[in-house]
A and B are shown apart, each in its own frame.
Chain A
Amino acid sequence: MPEMLSLSNDPILFLSLMLAKILAVFIVVILIVAYATYAERKIIGRMQTRLGPTMTGPLGLLQPIADGLKLFFKEDIIPAQSSKLAFLLAPMMILVPAFITVAVIPFGGDVVIKGFAVPLQITDLNIGILYILAMAGLGVYGIVLAGWASNSKYSLLGGIRSAAQVISYELAAGLAIIAVFMLSGTLSLRGIVAAQSGSVLDWYIFSQPLAFCLFVITSLAEINRTPFDLPEAETELVSGFCTEYSSMKYALFFMAEYANMIVVSAITATLFLGGPAGPFAGPINLLLKVFFFMFLFIWIRATFPRVRYDQLMFMGWKVFLPLALLNIVITGAVVVFL
C-alpha cells in the first residue's frame, strides 16, 4: 500500500497535481454546462416533435458557443433604481457555491503516481456531506439578493418565493441524507463510496429507496427546476428573480442553474449509486450516472406541469418532511436491532 501523497512528503508534486485536478474538474463542469443547454433544447425539441437547434454548425453543435458569444456582446444593463452592490454580487453568489461543491465529489479510486497514492477527488473532507449542505444553503443568497436588488416587483416576488422554497426543501433533503450516513457511519463522501463498494446490491439506492426518491425530488425543488421552477414562473412573474438582468450576468444565472443540476446529479450518484463504481474507469462511470440524472431532469421538465405554490409548500412540509423523519426512524431501528 503506497503512502498517501500530502503537502508534507512531496509539496511540489502535491501542489501541481492539485492544480491539475482542480483545472480538469472545472473544465469538465464548464463543458457539461455548455452542452447541457444544447442537450436540453435538443431533447425537449424531440419530445415535442420539433428538431431543436440545427443551423449552427453540424447538428447545431456550435449553438452553445453562439449563445455564449451573443450574451457576451449584449449591453450590460444595471437598473438605475437598483441596489448596485447587491445587484453585482448576486450572480456570483449563486454561481460560486455551485462550483465549489464539486470539490468534495470523488470521481475515482486512488491512482499511484511516483510511488504515492493520489485520490481522484479534489479534497476529502471529514464533513463532506455537511459541506455540501452548507454550500447549498449559501446558494439561496444569490437568488434572494438578485430579487431584492433589482427593485422590481416581479424580481422581488421571485426572490421571496425562492427563499421560502429553498428553506423548506433543504430541510427535507438534509433529513433524507441523514439516513444514508446512519448506514455508512461516516460523513466523508470517500467513506460513503467505500461503504457501497461491494456489489451493485450494496448501493444505497437498494437499502434506502425512500431516501433516494426524497432526495431526488427535494433537490429538484432546491435547484428550482421544473416542476418546482416557481421563482421564475414566466406566466406570472416574467422571468422571476433574473428579470432585470442582461448580458453576462444573465448568463451566470443560466450557468448556475446547469451547474446546480450537475452538482445534484453527482451528489445523488455518489450517495446512492456507488459514485465512481461500475464497469468502466472511475470518472467515466460517474459521468454516465451524472448524464443519466440530467437526462431525467430534462425529461421531467418536458413532462410535468408546474406545481401550484400552495401544493409546493404542502408537499415540502406535510409530505416530504414527515416521510424523511419516518425513514430516519426506520433506518435507526434497523441499524440498532438487526
Chain B
Amino acid sequence: MEILQLLFFYLVAFVTIVSGLCVVLCKNPINSAISLVMTFFCLAIFYVTLHAPFMAAIQIMVYAGAIMVLIIFVMMLLNQGAEVVARCRHAVVGAVVAAGIMMLQVLVTLKHGDVSGVVGPVNSAMIEEVGHTELIGQALFTDFLFPFEIASILLLVAIVGAVVLAKREV
C-alpha cells in the first residue's frame, strides 16, 4: 500500500509540475489557462490525500470553477494572441526573480523552520473521526468568528464598490 501511495504521489506531482510549466511556456494564453485549471485540479488531489476533502472541493469550486472561468471569459473576449507575450518580456524577468526568491524562502523554511509533525489537538485520526468539514465549521464559527465577520464585511464592501463602478451613470 505504501508503495502505491508513493507512486500515486509522484504521478500527481509530475502532472502538477508539467502543467505548471505549461502555464508559463504555452504560446496561446487559453492553453495556459487550461493548464492552470489542471494545476488547480492536481492541488485538489493533494488536499484529498492530506485528509482535507473540504479544501479540495473549495479549491475546485472557487479557483477552477469560478475564477478561472472568468479569466477565460475575459481572454476569449479580448482574443489576444502570442504578440502580447512578446511585448511583455520584462514581465518574464520579473516573474523569474520572484520565483527565485520564493524558492529560496521555501528552502530556508524547510531547512531551518519547524515543519515536522502536527502541532495542536487536530491530527489525521481526529479528522477521520469528526470530519474535516465539521472541524473547519466549528473553528470558523467559534474561535475565528470575528475575523470571519470582518472578511464578510470586506467582501460586502467589494461588492458595493463593483456596483458603484459598473453603474456610474444610473
**Contact residues of A with B, CB < 8 Å?**
83, 85-86, 89, 125-127, 130-131, 133-138, 140-141, 144-145, 147-149, 156, 159-160, 163-164, 166-167, 170, 187
Contacts and interface: CB of A to CB of B under 8 A. Distances in A.
A145 B34 contact: yes
A89 B28 CA distance: 15
B34 A134 contact: no
A332 B47 CA distance: 30
Nearest to A137: B65
A131 B61 CA distance: 8
Interface string B66-110: 100110110011000000000000000000000000000000000
B152 to A, nearest CB: 14
A133 B60 CA distance: 9
A127 B57 contact: yes
Contact of B73 (A125, A136, A160): A160
Contact of A138 (B53, B56, B60): B60
Interface residues of B: mostly helix, strand, loop or mixed? helix
Contacts of A160: 73, 76-77
A167 B76 CA distance: 16
A144 B54 contact: no
B69 A141 contact: yes
Contacts of B56: 127
Contacts of A144: 69, 72-73, 76
Interface string B34-66: 100100000000000000011011101100111
6 contacts: A83-B31, A86-B34, A130-B61, A134-B61, A135-B60, A137-B65
Contact of B53 (A125, A135, A149): A125
